[in-house]
Structure 1
Amino acid sequence: MNTPRNPFDAFGIGIADGKQLRQQLSGALADHRGLIELSALAVLFDTIGGRPFYDLDESASSLQARVIMSALHRPAVTDRLVGSAEIRMSDDGYGTTTADITTTAGLLVTTGLTRNVRVGRTSNSRDEIGTLTDPAPRQLPATDPNLAGHKIIEAIAHGDHPIGPIAELVDGSVSVRDGATRFTSITASWMANMMGTMHGGMIGTIGALACSFGAQAHTQPGSDYQILDFDIGFYRSPAVDGTPVHVDVTPIKVGRRIGSFEANMRTDDRTLLARATADVRFTPR
């Protein structure tokens, strides 16, 4: 696999029709089931959520303090997506933006908001977003519908089941520690934002991936799941120097139809980087 230049190349995000930001989904962004989850959309969502606020004053950099995403329809692996956002509130230091992601056919797949904060650092560069390109086809993985979720997680952890293309993209691995599902990603320079630390959309991607594996661990044989709501607060932006970040996911409450999970992203020395919650719907296959 070729190393991407930046998060936008990695996630098929580019400019189309003049200035419109779009994302071309592909098998490279599918999970261990061969499906698209919110993790595949986090970079686009974070970017469109932050852009309108940044554009108000380009003399100072801005970051997202929180991203809240809600899934309405699951996009297909081959869909092309369109991002749009609107500022709802802003002052000198803070702003709130609502954001939508739709397919080019007009189907709303994800909606939510970002909390933006202006920081003291200035930047002389903007995100390097190229033009949209068509992806290469890729064979998709699939899970055994007769297996309980914890067996699937065990198989992934032991290398007996593929972890999925999007987890491979972030150099991820899965383990189980003290009843919690842990997802570890090895950081890389291409994950950086324009200030040289991890792009907020990448933090969201890794956090949502971890929550997805946490949800999978609690599925029953013959059932599947989808993350409906994902809320992540950013506390520190990790370095992208090859060091790992670990996300431990614990269940808050798991029922037959809905499960709620909490996830904490930390460094090796236990520094808290981000905290997320996810609500998941369990469905029969």
Structure 2
Amino acid sequence: MSHPTDLSTMTGLEAVRALAAVTDERPSIARLMGITIHAVDSGEVAGSVTPQPDFANALGTVHGGICATLLDAVMGCAVHTMLAPGVGYTTLELKVNYLRTVATDAGPLTATGSVIHAGRTTATAEGRVHDDKGHLVAHATTTCLILS
């Protein structure tokens, strides 16, 4: 499926589902990092990324920005699922807690994002990243500005 041409006419839930179905032309950051969205429901999104050597920090483990970006993506998409057609959002704040290191040759990291509150002007969400053994690697919260 190619990239949907006009997401502005879709509800946020329809738009995120359409974007998740795209395999050949994912949005730039998803393509760059290899992020895949697996599940989309109203207020809930799950996705994953597989670590690779290019994701290494100076210590040789996966850079924290990889988990932060994955969390920002799933939490933001979860917020997006709650929006009406033509309404957007942007991240105002992202707070990430890192719990363990991840090797660059580890299996997939899976993240879930869930909306806590969706208001007229702001929304909040929480997210968690687990490694392929089910260990919690990081968790986060976000505040998003709703753009009418």
TM-score by length of 2: 0.87
Aligned-partner residue type, residue 99 of structure 2 = Y
Partner of residue 258 from structure 1, selected from 122, 127, 133: 122
- Closer/same/farther in 2, CA of residues 184 and 202 from structure 1, 3 Å limit: same
Q: How far apart in 1 are the matches of 2:124 and 2:50?
A: 26
Q: Which runs of 5+ in 1 are unaligned?
A: 1-140
Following superposition, the deviation at residue 165 of structure 1 comes to 0.9
Q: How far apart in 1 are the matches of 2:84 and 2:127?
A: 21
Q: How does 1:194-273 map onto structure 2 within 5 Å?
A: 194-241=58-105, 243-273=107-137
* SS at 1:145 equivalent: helix
Q: How far apart in 2 are the matches of 1:213 and 1:162?
A: 17
2:12 is the alignment partner of 1:149: yes
Structure with larger RCO (C-alpha < 8 A, sep 6+):
2
Do 2:41 and 2:81's aligned partners in 1 also have CA atoms closer than 8 Å? Answer: no
Deviation track 1:177-228 (CA, whole Å, cap 9, x = no partner) reads 6762012111111101122211122222222222222222222112111110
Deviation track 1:97-145 (CA, whole Å, cap 9, x = no partner) reads xxxxxxxxxxxxxxxxxxxxxxxxxxxxxxxxxxxxxxxxxxxx97521
Do 2:71 and 2:112's aligned partners in 1 also have CA atoms closer than 8 Å? Answer: no
Equivalences, count? 145
Aligned-partner residue type, residue 170 of structure 1 = M
Q: Which runs of 5+ in 2 are unaligned?
A: none
Q: How far apart in 1 are the matches of 2:134 and 2:8?
A: 36
2:36 is the alignment partner of 1:173: yes
Partner of residue 48 from structure 2, selected from 165, 178, 184: 184
User: Which structure dedicates a bigger proportion of its chain to helix?
Assistant: 2
Max Rg structure: 1
TM-score by length of 1: 0.47
